[in-house]
């Protein structure tokens, strides 16, 4: 394959990876901000007395959100299932929420690893292309050699810059995702908790009998 074509192709791939990574970072940041806001509002409204999603404020149920989708099956089983069964539903819903949160994160982690390697490959191809052009033309001017080497090394710098941007974005999203996971776990526990039964007086208390230890 032509070294120049391969060198240019590596640049296109790195620019495309940067564009896709920025889209993922922005989309996930907006999604996490919305999800965290909904989870915090649900945590305030969700009490043990809530038996279904209909018992929640309309402002929280009119729009479908991840926290609402996670707790709905738990609320549906709250009055019909045993505590052990409700615990299984809570664990299942918590695990099912993970793919919704981690969507696209794997691509950022891949770019963090691959971008410096692509930059290094681009530099190698650029150096090869520079020496081939110099040998074909017979030019031994040091300034032209430096210009070709500078263009080749630009690929390495670009790859490192892309990796740094994706690394910062990935760490930020990971911290937000961990916070949202904690909020979802709290919501699930609250959704599965039973309301305290009203305390009733004992028959001996109603009859006025004296209680003995």
What is the pLDDT, as a whole number, of residue 23?
A: 96
What is the pLDDT, as a whole number, of residue 17?
A: 93
What is the pLDDT, as a whole number, of residue 162?
A: 95
With beta carbons less than 8 A apart as the criterion, state whether 7 and 126 touch. Answer: yes
Q: Tell me the pLDDT of the chain averaged across its residues.
A: 81
Percent of the chain with pLDDT over 70: 81
pLDDT tens digits, one per residue of 181-204:
999 998 888 888 764 444 444 443
Which sequence spans correspond to the domains of the chain?
3-194
Instruction: Average the pLDDT over 147-151 and give the result.
Output: 68
pLDDT at 213 over 60: no
From 126, 131, 133, select the one nearest 156 (Cα to Cα): 126
Indicate the pLDDT class of residue 2, thresholds 50, 70 and 90.
low
Instruction: Give the pair of three-digit tokens for residue 169.
Output: 């974005």
Burial of residue 49 (number of CB atoms within 10 Å: 0-12, 13-18, 19+): exposed
For every residue of 54-102, which 3-state class applies, written as one string? HHCCHHHHCCCCHHHHHHHHHHHHCCCCCHHHHHHHHHHHHHHHHHHHH
pLDDT tens digits, one per residue of 56-98:
877 777 778 888 888 888 888 877 778 888 888 888 989 989 9
Indicate the pLDDT class of residue 53, thresholds 50, 70 and 90.
confident
Percent of the chain with pLDDT over 90: 33
What are phi and psi for residue 114, nearest 5 degrees? -85, -30
Burial of residue 136 (number of CB atoms within 10 Å: 0-12, 13-18, 19+): exposed
Instruction: Average the pLDDT over 132-155 and give the result.
Output: 67
């Amino acid at each position: 394959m032509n070294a120049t074509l391969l060198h240019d192709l590596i640049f296109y791939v790195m620019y495309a990876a940067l564009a896709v990574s920025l889209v993922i970072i922005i989309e996930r940041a907006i999604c996490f901000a919305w999800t965290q806001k909904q989870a915090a509002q649900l945590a305030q409204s969700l009490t043990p007395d809530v038996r279904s999603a209909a018992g929640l404020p309309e402002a929280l149920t009119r729009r479908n959100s991840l926290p609402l989708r996670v707790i709905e099956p738990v609320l549906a089983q709250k009055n019909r299932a045993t505590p052990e069964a409700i615990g299984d539903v809570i664990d299942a819903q918590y695990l099912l929420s993970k793919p919704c949160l981690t969507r696209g994160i794997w691509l950022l982690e891949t770019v963090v690893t691959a971008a410096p390697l692509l930059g290094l490959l681009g530099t190698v191809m650029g150096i090869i292309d520079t020496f081939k052009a110099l040998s074909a033309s017979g030019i031994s001017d040091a300034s032209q050699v430096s210009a070709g080497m500078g263009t080749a090394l630009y690929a390495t710098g670009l790859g490192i810059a892309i990796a740094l941007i994706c690394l910062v974005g990935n760490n930020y999203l990971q911290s937000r995702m961990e916070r949202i996971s904690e909020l979802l776990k709290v919501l699930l526990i609250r959704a599965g908790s039973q309301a305290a039964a009203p305390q009733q007086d004992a028959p001996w208390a109603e009859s006025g009998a004296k209680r003995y230890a």
